[in-house]
């Protein structure tokens, strides 16, 4: 059998390593502590607790809030293939 995704509206924000965006991401994710790793200073990552464990969001990745309030990262090419902006 084949299946298709049900249309669903999600909230998302793109990770950019600048102070204003990091504040926006922190607020987007509920205002708690934002875990950023600068282990590789040229490629920082945000550590996101997902339903499947901790996942990394690299610069340019989108952070998506799922239908149950969970968060997870998504690569830009997959995001662009899967989602499109809506006007409210």
The span from the CA of 40 to the CA of 69, in Å, is 30
For residue 7, name the pLDDT band (cuts at 50, 70, 90).
Answer: confident
The span from the CA of 71 to the CA of 15, in Å, is 13
Domain that holds residue 39: 16-82
At which residue do the structure tokens 């995001």 appear? 79
- Which residue pairs from 74-79 have beta carbons closer than 8 angstroms and sit at least 24 positions apart in sequence? 74/12, 76/14, 79/12
Residue 45 lies in a domain: yes
pLDDT at 88 over 80: no
pLDDT for the residue 5: 80
Give the total number of structural domains in the chain: 1
* pTM, 2 dp: 0.88
Residue 88 lies in a domain: no
The string of pLDDT tens digits covering residues 50-59 is: 989 999 999 9
């Amino acid at each position: 059998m084949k299946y298709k995704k049900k249309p669903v509206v999600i909230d998302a924000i793109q990770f950019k390593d600048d102070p204003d965006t990091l504040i926006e991401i922190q607020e987007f994710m509920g205002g708690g502590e934002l875990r950023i790793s600068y282990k590789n200073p040229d490629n920082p990552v945000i550590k996101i607790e997902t339903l499947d464990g901790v996942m990394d969001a690299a610069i340019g990745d989108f952070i998506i809030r799922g239908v149950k309030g969970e968060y997870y990262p998504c690569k830009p090419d997959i995001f662009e293939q899967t989602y499109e902006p809506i006007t409210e």
